[in-house]
Structure 1
Amino acid sequence: MKTLPPASRRDTRSLGAVVAGLEATRRRIAALHAEELQLLARADAIAAEQTARVPSSERREREMPARAIAAEVGAALRRPDRGMQDRMRDATVLVEGFAATVAALREGRVDAGHVRVIQDAGAVIGDPEVRARFEQAALVVCERETPGRAKPIVTVIAQKLRPVPLQERHADAAAGRRVWVRDLDDGMAELAAVLPAVLAYAIRDRLTQHAREITAARRARAADEPVAETDDETVAETPDDTVAETPDDTVAETADDPVATDTRTTDQIRADVLTDLLLTGCATAPTATGVLPEAAAVTAQVQIVIPAATLVGAGAAPAELLGYGPIDPDTARRLAAAADVWERVFTSPATGAVHHVDTYRPSRAQRRHLDARDEHCRFPGCRRPARFCDHDHTHDHACGGPTAVANLANLCARHHAMKHATAWSVIQKPRGILEWTSPTGRVYPDTPRRVLEFSALDQATAGAPAPF
Structure 2
Amino acid sequence: MFDDRVDVGVLAGMPTGADLAAALARVDRAVLNGFELVEVAKAITRQVAHYQAELLATVAEVAYCPPGDETSPAERSEYPAEYAADEVRLALTLTRRAADMLMGDAYTLVERLPTVHQALRSGQVDLARARVLDQETAALPEPVAREMVELILPVAGELTTGQLRVRLRRLVIEADPSAAAVRQRRALARRRVEHGLDVDGTATLAGCHLPPDRAATAAARIDTLAAAAKQAGDTRSLDELRADLYLDILNGIPTDTTPAPAPTGQGGVELVVPLAVLAGLCQQAGQIKGWGPVLAEVAAKLADQQRERPWRYTVVGDDGVVVGHGRLRRRPPAGVAALVRARDRTCRAPGCRTPAHRADLDHTIAWQDGGPTTAANLGVLCRHCHGYKHSEGVTLTQPTPGTFTWTTRLGHTYTTTPEPP
Q: Is the structural similarity TM-score above 0.5? A: yes
Q: Deviations over 1:46-80 (max 9, x none)?
A: 37998868xxxxxxxxx9x422x322211222222
SS in 2 for 1:42: helix
Matched-pair contact (CA < 8 Å) for 2:177–2:295: no
Aligned partner (choices 284, 287, 293) of residue 259 of structure 2: 293
Match of 2:129 in 1: 114
Residue 202 of structure 1 deviates from its aligned partner by: 3.4
Task: Flag the structure with larger Rg.
Answer: 2
Matched-pair contact (CA < 8 Å) for 1:33–1:112: yes
SS in 2 for 1:199: helix
Between the aligned partners of 1:163 and 1:294, the Cα distance in structure 2 is 40
Matched-pair contact (CA < 8 Å) for 2:105–2:131: no
Percent identity of equivalent pairs: 28
Match of 2:106 in 1: 91
Letter in 1 for 2:272: V
Residue 315 of structure 1 deviates from its aligned partner by: 2.7
Residue 147 of structure 1 deviates from its aligned partner by: 0.8
Between the aligned partners of 2:320 and 2:200, the Cα distance in structure 1 is 51
Between the aligned partners of 1:44 and 1:186, the Cα distance in structure 2 is 39
Between the aligned partners of 1:191 and 1:47, the Cα distance in structure 2 is 46
Asked if residue 342 in structure 1 is aligned to residue 315 in structure 2, the reply is no
Could you tell me which runs of 5 or more consecutive residues in structure 2 were left unpaired when the two chains were aligned.
1-28, 68-74, 330-421
Residue 16 of structure 1 deviates from its aligned partner by: 0.8
TM-score of the superposed pair, with normalisation by structure 2:
0.60
Q: Deviations over 1:306-348 (max 9, x none)?
A: 3333212233333332344432333222222222333333222
Residues 1:360 and 1:134: Cα distance change in structure 2 (over 3 Å): closer
Aligned partner (choices 313, 326, 329) of residue 293 of structure 2: 326
Matched-pair contact (CA < 8 Å) for 2:313–2:328: no
Q: Deviations over 1:156-196 (max 9, x none)?
A: 12333454433322221111110011222454221121122
Q: Deviations over 1:1-44 (max 9, x none)?
A: xxxxxxxxx95642212211221221122222212221222223
TM-score of the superposed pair, with normalisation by structure 1:
0.55
Between the aligned partners of 2:191 and 2:66, the Cα distance in structure 1 is 35
Root-mean-square deviation (CA, aligned residues, Å) is: 3.1
The 5 Å alignment of 1:54-453 reads: 65-67=81-83, 69-126=84-141, 128=143, 130-194=144-208, 195-218=210-233, 259=234, 262=235, 264-280=236-252, 282=254, 284=255, 290=257, 292-293=258-259, 299-339=266-306, 340-349=309-318, 351-360=319-328
Letter in 1 for 2:225: H
Letter in 2 for 1:279: N
Between the aligned partners of 2:229 and 2:259, the Cα distance in structure 1 is 11
Letter in 2 for 1:355: V
Residues 1:26 and 1:208: Cα distance change in structure 2 (over 3 Å): farther
Between the two proteins, the alignment pairs up a number of residues equal to 290
Between the aligned partners of 1:300 and 1:46, the Cα distance in structure 2 is 58
Residue 83 of structure 1 deviates from its aligned partner by: 4.2
Could you tell me which runs of 5 or more consecutive residues in structure 1 were left unpaired when the two chains were aligned.
1-9, 54-62, 219-258, 362-468
Match of 1:27 in 2: 46
SS in 1 for 2:280: coil
Residues 1:32 and 1:164: Cα distance change in structure 2 (over 3 Å): farther
SS in 1 for 2:204: strand
Match of 1:42 in 2: 61
